[in-house]
């Protein structure tokens, strides 16, 4: 006879509640589970909403548990349904649509709500919080229709919202009551550095400003401040704080304060009713950050499953800002008192800052800006109340000749139940078990298996440490398995072998470096061909047979065997004469479709192989290299020539850069963009090199990618003149050509090499930068487009733009 299982109801389909269910399922809890969620979505990663707003992630990308997951675990899910009351006497759940569901145990995980300032006009159209997908949709829609936005609140959520709106092209001002940004997490030094960095990214600030009213008709039009001044804005984001959502608890006569009051086992004042997450008040504290919520959930799951567990005694909170190009971290105490001592290191040139606070020689807090490499170990030291020692000081502050390769790992003292990935609730034990049971050897494999580092990536250093700890000191994590099955040698070993032995041909490389397959394969031959050409551009004879078919045919092969032809349009600009030739050729050769590409060019789709030479000849235009591991396109906005917001000649600069670096071989396809102002209409944030014009010159961003592995570009440096910009771009390109793995995009290259290393090689070391520029010039001098005469005959950008103006 089958035992009757208890009925467990989860009120709230957010991260904390569903993570608790995941733990209950892992622990073998036997319950019939029903979940109610007010939103029309399955469980998603709320902390990734800022990336959805920026456009680097989609809603689908941040779903944590799909509808299939609920079905597989026999969980009944009711989305778009709000629980209004719990009848504890009858043990029945009541919902807003009239449902009545019996229960044996209830978990309330209703999260928190945006705190909307109770000022006149707060209920006008265009005023939102920033807590859920619906808010994101409203913000994206507003950016498409209105130019100006204000964000009230300079805390974590406010800054993330502001950056997202700037990325969407809005003119954004952050209005903050205090004099420092993120004053609950940062000291004045870090706050000042953060403000300067965000101003460089296009965000404006009004500090010490108190909003007292929102004016307008049905829709908000301007903010009014206490001193009588105003700020125009057609969209306002309220990010002045959050408040626990305790409505259902109040209606159910459950004890509440600021949140739902719980004990150390997350029990409320009513039997069989528990609460977890942001709605909870534990020992007078309410937590609005994700890591404590998972710690609560693990303890609650064990308690509900009848497993002995330590009580929940509170959390040491830490903060990490999720804005590309801005690395900020704080944990524990961040502003010292007169009884505490401070260790600091500040570098205004590299824009980094580190502060560690001690009380009686014990580490009690830390603030990091610009370089947060030590965030994970510092968080653990603070949580453990570790004493500062000379050895630890040298390790953390980079003094005393410390060999960082010999740093002691703190992993061995980490509890199995300790959460490593706060975004996804992954513990040390989860990672260790996955490594041991499934033979994982790379961080990417751990990410795919457990979800650790899947979201914000802040836990990646700890994941690497755990992997090294489990595999042993002798193992190399993520060890290369060789370029392919033909050789055990890695990219660096092959390049070193070519240099040391003076190898000149693919055949020599394979013979001397003892390839297992004498002729190589389709994976290694193109790579060796690239490395040889990159190392000796003046002497190496390119082996066309070792290139991919698209490069051999100067066109992209399609699934039906035909090809697409993409002529070059410098900076996205063309002439009526060129357009007429494209039309004539398309008709003559029965082109299946003519498509505008995302790179501001025209794609002729469906050209048969035999017609390719004639098509190119009659187009009489240079190739756009849409098929090659080279510079594909330089996307531009109209810039200062035409746009009322433009501060720089983006079209002109884009054409110059495209003419200069086309034809050059890269490790992988390479895309650039030039914006005439910080509104970013040409989408520099997702390009290998993105350039943004401002009143003082140009800002360079690197490592962006809008493809399968989306990544927002990192802010790299600023330059004042056009020539400096061209030189820096050339140096970056050559450094990537020399250190990148074949088929490795810059988004992966930047993370592997490290932004500080690239900055040192290209910006700080002036002599090295000049050598890089000379080497890229040498490489460019050796290459010639198949249609070079066409390039020489193409009007200069000055003549082209003059014709456009006339």
**Which strands sit side by side in the sheet containing 75-78, from one edge to the other?**
75-78, 31-36, 6-11, 105-108, 273-275
The answer to whether 6-112+244-304 and 127-240 have equal CATH topology is: yes
Q: Is 607 helix (H, G, I), strand (E, B) or coil?
A: strand
- Confidence label for 245 from pLDDT (cuts 50, 70 and 90): very high
- Confidence label for 709 from pLDDT (cuts 50, 70 and 90): low
Work out the average pLDDT over 249-267: 96
Residue in this structure with the two tokens 């809005």, named with its chain if needed: 170
Q: Supply 347's token pair.
A: 């570098």
Higher pLDDT, 36 or 518: 36
Provide the pLDDT for residue 3.
61
Instruction: Name the CA radius of gyration of the chain, rounded.
Output: 29
> Count H helices, E strands: the chain?
26, 36
User: What would the CATH number be for the domain defined by 629-784?
Assistant: 3.30.413.10
Provide the pLDDT for residue 775.
93
Would you list which residues are annotated within the binding site for siroheme?
Answer: 681
Work out the average pLDDT over 288-293: 82
Q: Which stretch of DSSP H or E encloses residue 172?
A: strand 171-176
Q: Which stretch of DSSP H or E encloses residue 204?
A: strand 204-207
Work out the average pLDDT over 496-516: 89
For residue 8, list its beta bridge partners: 33, 105
Rounded to whole angstroms, the Cα distance separating 590 from 705 reads 34
| Number of neighbouring beta carbons within 10 Å of residue 364 | 20
**Of the given ranges (310-314, 439-443, 576-580), which has the lowest mean pLDDT?**
439-443
- Confidence label for 571 from pLDDT (cuts 50, 70 and 90): confident
Closest to 184 (Cα-Cα) out of 367, 16, 354: 367
Q: With a cut of 50, say whether residue 615 has pLDDT above it.
A: yes
Q: With a cut of 70, say whether residue 794 has pLDDT above it.
A: no
Q: Supply 358's token pair.
A: 């001690």
Q: With a cut of 80, say whether residue 582 has pLDDT above it.
A: yes
- Confidence label for 471 from pLDDT (cuts 50, 70 and 90): confident
Rounded to whole angstroms, the Cα distance separating 134 from 193 reads 32
Q: At what angle do helices 797-805 and 650-661 cross, to 10 degrees?
A: 150
Q: Is 285 helix (H, G, I), strand (E, B) or coil?
A: strand
Q: With a cut of 90, say whether residue 470 has pLDDT above it.
A: no
CA distances, 367 to each of 184, 324, 755 (Å): 12, 18, 20
Instruction: Name, in order, each residue with C-beta under 8 angstroms of 503's C-beta and a sequence gap of 6 or more.
Output: 497, 509, 512, 513, 532
Provide the pLDDT for residue 514.
86
CA distances, 6 to each of 69, 265, 308, 333, 599 (Å): 21, 19, 20, 44, 58
Work out the average pLDDT over 286-300: 87
Does domain 127-240 sit in CATH 2.60.120.1440? no
In this predicted model, what pLDDT tens digit does every residue of 78-125 receive, in sequence order?
Answer: 999 999 999 999 999 999 999 999 999 999 999 999 899 999 999 999
Provide the pLDDT for residue 440.
80
| Number of neighbouring beta carbons within 10 Å of residue 389 | 10
Higher pLDDT, 516 or 733: 733
Would you list which residues are annotated within the binding site?
Answer: 637, 643, 677, 681
**What percent of the chain stands above pLDDT 90?**
48
Burial annotation 567-586 (CB, 10 A radius, 16+ → b, else e): bbbbbbbbeeebeebbeebb
Report the range out of 323-332, 565-574, 735-744 with the highest average pLDDT: 735-744
Q: For the chain, which residues make up each domain, given as ranges?
A: 6-112+244-304, 127-240, 491-547, 629-784
Rounded to whole angstroms, the Cα distance separating 779 from 775 reads 6
Instruction: Name the CATH topology of 6-112+244-304.
Output: FAD/NAD(P)-binding domain (3.50.50)
Q: Three-state SS string across 485-552, please?
A: CCECCCHHHHHHHHHHHCCCCHHHHHHHCCCCCCCCCCCHHHHHHHHHHHHCCCCCCCCHHHCCHHHH
Q: With a cut of 90, say whether residue 281 has pLDDT above it.
A: yes
Work out the average pLDDT over 42-70: 83
CA atoms within 13 A on the CB side of 645: 17
Provide the pLDDT for residue 322.
66
CA distances, 250 to each of 35, 36, 80, 112 (Å): 20, 18, 21, 14
Burial environment of residue 474 by CB neighbours within 10 A (0 to 12, 13 to 18, 19 or more): exposed
Q: With a cut of 80, say whether residue 341 has pLDDT above it.
A: yes
Q: How far does Cα 618 stand from its chain's mean position?
A: 44
**Of the given ranges (386-395, 554-563, 663-672), which has the lowest mean pLDDT?**
554-563
Question: Across the chain, what does the average pLDDT equal?
Answer: 86
Higher pLDDT, 22 or 792: 22
Q: With a cut of 70, say whether residue 787 has pLDDT above it.
A: no
Q: With a cut of 90, say whether residue 264 has pLDDT above it.
A: yes
- Confidence label for 304 from pLDDT (cuts 50, 70 and 90): very high
Higher pLDDT, 308 or 324: 308
Question: Are 452 and 426 contacting, i.e. CB atoms less than 8 angstroms apart?
Answer: yes
Would you list which residues are annotated within the binding site for [4Fe-4S] cluster?
Answer: 637, 643, 677, 681
Rounded to whole angstroms, the Cα distance separating 289 from 422 reads 9
**Of the given ranges (89-103, 180-194, 309-323), which has the lowest mean pLDDT?**
309-323
């Amino acid at each position: 006879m089958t035992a009757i299982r208890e009925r467990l109801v989860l009120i709230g389909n957010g991260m904390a509640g569903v993570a608790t269910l995941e733990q209950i399922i892992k622990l073998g809890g036997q319950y019939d589970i029903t979940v109610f969620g007010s939103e029309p979505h399955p469980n998603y990663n709320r902390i990734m909403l800022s990336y959805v707003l920026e456009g680097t992630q989609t809603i689908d990308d941040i779903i944590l548990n799909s509808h299939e997951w609920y079905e597989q675990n026999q969980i009944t899910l009711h989305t778009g349904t709000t629980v209004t009351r719990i009848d504890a006497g009858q043990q029945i759940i009541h919902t807003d649509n009239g449902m009545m569901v019996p229960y044996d145990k209830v978990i309330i995980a209703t999260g928190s709500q945006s705190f909307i300032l109770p000022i006149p006009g707060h209920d006008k159209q265009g005023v939102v919080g920033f807590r859920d997908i619906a808010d994101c949709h409203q913000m994206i829609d507003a950016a498409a229709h209105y130019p100006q936005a204000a964000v009230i609140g300079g805390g974590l959520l406010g800054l993330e919202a502001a950056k997202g709106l700037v990325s969407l092209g809005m003119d954004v001002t952050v209005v903050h009551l205090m004099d420092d940004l993120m004053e609950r997490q940062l000291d004045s030094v870090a706050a000042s550095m953060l403000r300067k960095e965000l101003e460089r990214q296009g965000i404006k600030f009004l500090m010490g400003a108190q909003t007292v009213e929102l004016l307008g008709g049905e829709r908000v039009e301007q903010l009014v401040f206490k001193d009588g001044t105003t700020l125009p804005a057609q969209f306002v984001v309220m990010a002045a704080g959050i408040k626990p959502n305790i409505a259902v608890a109040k209606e159910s006569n459950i004890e509440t304060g600021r949140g739902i009051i719980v004990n150390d086992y997350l029990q409320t004042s009513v039997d069989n009713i528990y609460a977890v997450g942001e709605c909870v008040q534990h020992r007078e504290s309410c937590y609005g950050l994700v890591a404590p919520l998972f710690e609560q959930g693990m303890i609650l799951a064990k308690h509900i499953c009848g497993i002995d567990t330590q009580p929940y005694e509170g959390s040491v909170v830490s903060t990490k800002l999720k804005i590309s190009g801005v690395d900020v971290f704080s944990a524990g105490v961040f502003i010292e008192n007169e009884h505490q001592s401070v260790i600091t290191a500040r570098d205004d040139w590299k824009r980094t800052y580190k502060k560690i606070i001690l009380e009686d020689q014990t580490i009690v807090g830390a603030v990091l800006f610009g370089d947060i490499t030590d965030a994970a170990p510092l968080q653990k030291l603070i949580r453990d109340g570790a004493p500062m020692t000379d050895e630890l000081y040298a390790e953390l502050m980079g003094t005393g000749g410390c060999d960082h390769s010999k740093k002691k790992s703190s992993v061995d003292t980490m509890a199995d139940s300790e959460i490593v990935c706060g975004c996804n609730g992954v513990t040390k034990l989860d990672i260790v078990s996955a490594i041991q049971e499934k033979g994982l050897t790379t961080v990417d494999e751990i990410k795919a298996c457990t979800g650790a580092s899947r979201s914000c990536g802040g836990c990646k250093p700890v994941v690497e440490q755990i992997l090294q700890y489990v595999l042993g000191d002798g193992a190399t994590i993520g060890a290369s398995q060789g370029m392919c099955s033909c050789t055990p040698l890695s990219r660096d070993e092959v390049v070193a072998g070519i240099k040391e032995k003076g190898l000149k041909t693919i055949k020599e490389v394979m013979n001397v470096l003892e390839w297992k397959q004498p002729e190589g394969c389709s994976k290694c031959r193109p790579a060796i061909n690239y490395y040889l050409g990159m190392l000796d551009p003046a002497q190496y004879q390119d082996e066309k047979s070792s290139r991919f078919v698209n490069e051999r045919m100067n066109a992209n092969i399609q699934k039906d065997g035909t090809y697409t032809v993409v002529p070059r349009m410098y900076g996205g600009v063309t002439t009526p004469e060129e357009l007429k030739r494209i039309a004539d050729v398309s008709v003559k050769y029965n082109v299946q479709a003519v498509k505008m590409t995302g790179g501001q060019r025209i794609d002729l789709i469906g050209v048969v192989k035999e017609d390719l030479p004639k098509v190119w000849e009659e187009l009489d235009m240079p190739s756009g290299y849409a098929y090659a591991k080279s510079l594909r396109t330089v996307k531009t906005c109209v810039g200062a020539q035409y746009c009322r917001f433009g501060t720089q000649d983006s079209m002109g600069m884009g054409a110059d850069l495209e003419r200069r670096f086309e034809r050059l071989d890269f490790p992988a396809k390479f895309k650039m963009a030039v914006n005439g102002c910080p509104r970013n209409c040409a989408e520099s944030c997702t390009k290998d090199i993105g350039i943004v014009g401002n009143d003082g010159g140009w800002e360079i961003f690197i490592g962006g990618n809008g493809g399968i592995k989306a990544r927002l570009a990192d802010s790299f440096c600023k330059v004042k003149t056009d020539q400096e910009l061209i030189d820096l771009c050339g140096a970056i390109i050559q450094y990537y050509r020399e250190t990148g793995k074949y088929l490795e995009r810059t988004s992966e290259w930047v993370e592997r090499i490290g932004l500080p290393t690239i900055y040192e090689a290209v910006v700080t070391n002036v002599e090295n930068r000049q050598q890089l520029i000379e080497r890229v010039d040498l490489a460019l001098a050796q290459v010639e487009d198949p249609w070079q005469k066409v390039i020489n005959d193409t009007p200069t950008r000055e003549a082209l733009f003059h014709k456009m103006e006339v």
